[in-house]
Every structure is written in C-alpha cells, then in structure tokens.
Chains A and B, each alone.
Chain A
Amino acid sequence: EPEVTQTPSHQVTQMGQEVILRCVPISNHLYFYWYRQILGQKVEFLVSFYNNEISEKSEIFDDQFSVERPDGSNFTLKIRSTKLEDSAMYFCASSLDRINQPQHFGDGTRLSIL
C-alpha cells in the first residue's frame, strides 16, 4: 500500500537555527498537510496546501513557518528560527481530494530543539 514518507525520523537542532522537514506524499495525492504533536498532547493542524498555495493555516503557523513543494514529489516544512517550544513530532499527511477521501499520515519527524 502506498504511504507517506518523512525524513529525517529525528532532527536535533540548536535554538535559533533553521530546520527543514521533508515529506514525500502519496504519488497521486493532490492535497498536503502538516500537523504537529507536542509530547503527550493531541495532534494539531498546522497548514494545508493545494495547487502550490496554502489553502488553510492555523494560528500556530506564524511567519516563522513556511511550506513548499519544490518539485513533483517533495513537500517541505521550514521553520526559520527555531524555538524551544517547537520541539514536537511533526506529521505530514496527504489526501486524494479535499473532502471525500481520508488523510493519510506519515510516521513523523521528531524535532528536538536544544
């Protein structure tokens, strides 16, 4: 079964540094998402992306965050200047359509900010 692939599985970064989290969505999917899960807490929506544009974003997704689909297969989340509170598990998801098909999640990248 096709799956969403995320790299790296664990990223350790110094506070204030930039970090890029990478995702390869399922190949025929058109809608892409980032969620995050702070340790022990619920999964929270960050942003959705379609047709090379952000379609929706949460209040968490401030100017420090950006997303990009640099080529036909990758989908990236960049955090420009990381803070301690950015430490979390970041999940990428993709779906075939916006409403009728489910979102499929990757196994996540654990981001640790020191």
Chain B
Amino acid sequence: QQQVKQSPQSLIVQKGGISIINCAYENTAFDYFPWYQQFPGKGPALLIAIRPDVSEKKEGRFTISFNKSAKQFSLHIMDSQPGDSATYFCATRMRGNEKLTFGTGTRLTIIP
C-alpha cells in the first residue's frame, strides 16, 4: 500500500513535443504528490507538487494532472527541450507524515 508505480521506465520525445509520465498509488492517505527532476551526479530537485484538493497545477511548461478517483497523477512537459533530459521521479507523502515514497523513475531523453 506504500508503493508508487511509475511508468514508463524510459521515454524518448522529440524537441517541441509533449512528455507525459504517469504514477499510480494505492493508499488514499497520501496527501502530497511532488515530482522531482534529477540530473546525472545531482540530487533530486523539486519540480512541481500538488495536493489532492485540486485536479491540475501548472507552472510554466510543467503541469501535474491529478485524478483522485483513479488514484493516478501525471507530469506533462509541454514544448520539451533537450535541457529537460533527466530522470523524473514522482513521490507521495502520507497525511501528517514526513517520509517521501518515491516511484522508480523515468529516464527522459529529448532528441532534436
């Protein structure tokens, strides 16, 4: 029940295209859903996060879509750029808790 399932494992998108990464969870006690971006040799950096009281959050080219009934959330990267090439992790956190539970990661490659 603590697991977060992330897909796909890897993704190749053309420059200018839309990158979509999906995560699914089981535990309805999760109340915080962040996405982290990780470049090689670096730590995870928070990209965008959402709470379950909204269905969508947009920050620049990055959008989280949240489907509470399906227990799924996804990251959309619009107008994908080569600089977006990185590993992306979804994560969840249980209500009242500090621990982040991470997905397995998606290696995104943006090709010219």
Q: Are A102 and B49 in contact (CB under 8 A)?
A: yes
Q: Are B103 and A42 in contact (CB under 8 A)?
A: yes
Q: Are A4 and B43 in contact (CB under 8 A)?
A: yes
By a CB distance below 8 angstroms, the chain A residues around B89 are: 42-43
Interface string of B83-103 (1 = CB under 8 A from A): 000000101000011111111
Scan residues 32-74 of chain A and give those whose CB is less than 8 A from a CB of chain B: 33, 35, 41-45, 48, 55-56, 58
By a CB distance below 8 angstroms, the chain A residues around B96 are: 99
Interface size class of chain A, counting residues whose CB lies under 8 Å from the partner chain: 20 to 34
Interface of A is mostly: strand
Nearest chain B CB to A98 CB, angstrom units: 5
By a CB distance below 8 angstroms, the chain B residues around A56 are: 97-99
Q: How far is the CA of A99 from the CA of B99 in the complex (A)?
A: 10
Residue on B nearest A6 in the bound complex, by CB:
B43
Q: Are A45 and B99 in contact (CB under 8 A)?
A: yes
Q: Are A102 and B98 in contact (CB under 8 A)?
A: no
By a CB distance below 8 angstroms, the chain A residues around B101 are: 45
